[in-house]
Amino acid sequence: MGNDNQHILTKTLMVNQMAFHVQFNAARIRSSAAKTDAASIAQRPCFLCKENRPPEQKSIDWNGQYEILENPFPIFPQHLTIPTYEHTPQQLQGRYADMLKLAVEMPEFTLFYNGPHCGASAPDHMHFQAGSRHFMPIEQQWQERIGEHLAVEGKARLHIMANDPRNTLVLIADEAKDAVTLFERILKALSKPMVNVLCYYENNQWFTFIFPRTKHRPSCYFAEGSEQMIISPASVDLGGVFITVRQEDFERIDNKCLENILREVCWQESTINTFKNNNYART
């Protein structure tokens, strides 16, 4: 694939002793500043439908259901977009099993899913994405932060990362069917279906990171003048690679600002307590 990423600048920030990389990637403005309200979506041709894609963009069939495409505005050394053939709304319910199968067949990649109002720039067309493994810091960080165990289903269990401003849920599974049952229970237990999800397969186990969201975009996105930062967190940002699309935002963002953004868009204590007390999540 070999994308030219030489123009991209990076720096590293720390929140609660965890590293977050910040990437300046101007081409991502199409995604970070995408208008995803229903009216704007209805007015534009869907860029994931085959008839609207450039004819030179190659695709690989997956299971007769999805196409695997190269992402034209990569964040990762290798970055793929995996839309369904059908133009059907972005929704993970009933499709997590596909994500698990893709993860097995693509061991060099971490699969990810951005929910509507959580960073998906095509909320009207179901798609996963995939990026090079070992690129997002969370793939290492979770191991030292594996906390309290919240739920079990057969050979799948759910944990929450400790001392993590994102309060990441970590689902570890030896059996796909148990993972799916547990995952569907989690989706039902969420008060609203706003999530970002990462998943990879390693040593016969699936590792899934679920980031329940309270907000689409942080208040700095809507601020005016020099207070504004065009930062619109999605799966990759929460996985530890924050995308900035303007150089001034890249320069200005610091540890405290990043922590505030995480706390603003992710679940906080009261929501977690509600989730823990919810019967769907209990074993």
Please, what's the largest Cα pairwise distance for the chain? 53
In order, the DSSP letters of 46-62 are: -TTSGGGS-TT--EEEE
Q: What is the 3-state secondary structure (H, E, C) of 217-275?
A: CCHHHHCCHHHCCCCCCCHHHHCCEEEECCHHHHHHCCHHHHHHHHHHHECCHHHHHHH
Considering the complex, what minimum distance in angstroms separates the CB of residue 15 from Zn ion?
A: 36
Nearest to Zn ion of 28, 125 (CB atom): 125
- 50 sits near Zn ion (criterion: CB under 5 A): no
Structure token digits, residue 35:
């208008």
Nearest to Zn ion of 10, 88 (CB atom): 88
Nearest to Zn ion of 73, 85 (CB atom): 85
Binding mask 80-119 for Zn ion (x = CB under 5 A): -------x--------------------------------
Q: Which of 27, 29, 49, 272 binds Zn ion (CB under 5 A)?
A: 49
Residues 119-138 that bind Zn ion (CB under 5 A): 125
CB count within 10 Å of CB 188 equals: 13
Nearest to Zn ion of 34, 46 (CB atom): 46
Nearest to Zn ion of 87, 177 (CB atom): 87
- 48 sits near Zn ion (criterion: CB under 5 A): yes
* Closest C-alpha to 259, from 62, 6, 18, 10: 18
C-alpha to C-alpha distance for 2 and 79, rounded to whole angstroms: 10
Nearest to Zn ion of 89, 94 (CB atom): 89
- Please work out the total of residues on this chain that contact Zn ion, with binding judged by CB under 5 A: 5
In order, the DSSP letters of 3-60 are: ---TT-EEEEEEETTEEEEEEE-GGGHHHHT---SHHHHHHS--TTSGGGS-TT--EE
User: Which residue minimizes CB distance to Zn ion?
Assistant: 46
Nearest to Zn ion of 44, 282 (CB atom): 44
CA dihedral 122, 66, 192, 206 (to 10 degrees): -130
- Under 8 Å CB-to-CB from 262, ≥6 apart: which residues? 15, 165, 166, 233, 238
Binding mask 4-43 for Zn ion (x = CB under 5 A): ----------------------------------------
Please name the amino acid found at residue 123.
P
Q: Which of 29, 34, 46, 272 binds Zn ion (CB under 5 A)?
A: 46
Residues near Zn ion, by CB under 5 A: 46, 48-49, 87, 125
